[in-house]
Structure 1
Amino acid sequence: MVELIAKTPLDGVSPRTIGTVTLAEIDLGVLTSVAPYKGQDKAAGDALKAAHDIAWPAPLRATGKDGVRAIWFGRDMVLLAGPAPDAELSKYAALTDQSDAWCAVQLSGVGVGVQDVLARLVPIDVSPATFKRGHTARTQIQHMNGSLTRIGTDRFVILVFRAMAGTLLHDLERAMASVAARG
């Protein structure tokens, strides 16, 4: 009998550092979309807080920390990253496992290096004055649809569809090399 072997979207690619910026594939745990049923927004938020000790994020925001995070993922939808969702949430929201659908990477760096890399790929201002820790956006990343979340002063989580993992790696490495060559 054939045994299937689970692989990450980037198949275990080692972290890459070019210049002052590091790119690493990360495991966010279980990824679950949480979409409240009509009229159940507050109840879903209360259940999320009670079960996972994180607040329901406002639009364009993320709450939580490494290990458990709620990321705004569009109108009336949050991506719960980390633990499996508590069963209580299913009373108030549709829950869909998205774990195998996304590639997650962390882009980190020193100073403006990471911002300069992102400036080459995303059409939004990611400067700390505008895009603060806990801010998130569904946006274009080069020519792909994705999600960008600032999780620290110089750290971002980027999500793209799993099928685009190789393209994301390629585009980020080219932008990192371009910024490093400038420095």
Structure 2
Amino acid sequence: LPAIDKYFYYSSIQKLINFFHKGLCKVPNIIIRANISVGCAPPFTRSTEETRNFKFNWTGIETEKNPIPSPWIHVNAQDAGTVEFIGVTSYNYHGGGYIAYLHRNRRYTNHTLGELIFSNWLDFNTRLIIIELTMYNVNVNAFTVVGFMVENLPGGVFLRLSQVVTFEIKSRWAFWVVIFTLFSL
């Protein structure tokens, strides 16, 4: 496991998860006739969630299977190894989404984030962003899961939530069960 410092080790790859909606809403004709430029963001539901696979920069529909993970390909919760998230608005996000894997090196992570921003991976249609990582502390035999979430509501309001959960491994066999489980995802 790569070290963060002398006490903590990364035990999973950090992920940036994007829940993206289709933008299926209708701007009233009176607004269109008045030539007022507005964005239209419908409420996020399972029926408005985008699940198609795209090519770079949300252009075209990707039809070929590619074994290399891509932030433009939708991944279901089981394949992504994620669980349901409950947002600040109490909406249950089912897991999965468009996932960009971040590096354990700050320079590479900054480069990846720059590419995602430049290519509009985060845009007006992004409803929820989740950043998650898992660390292991060898001194206390415990795992810490850190999650940051930002919800973009239809009215243009951004809500954020952060969670830190630590659980200690009490017995030797439980430690190996957790290690096996984490690496089998």
TM (normalized to structure 2)? Answer: 0.25
Q: Which has the higher helix share?
A: 1
Q: Which has the higher strand share?
A: 1
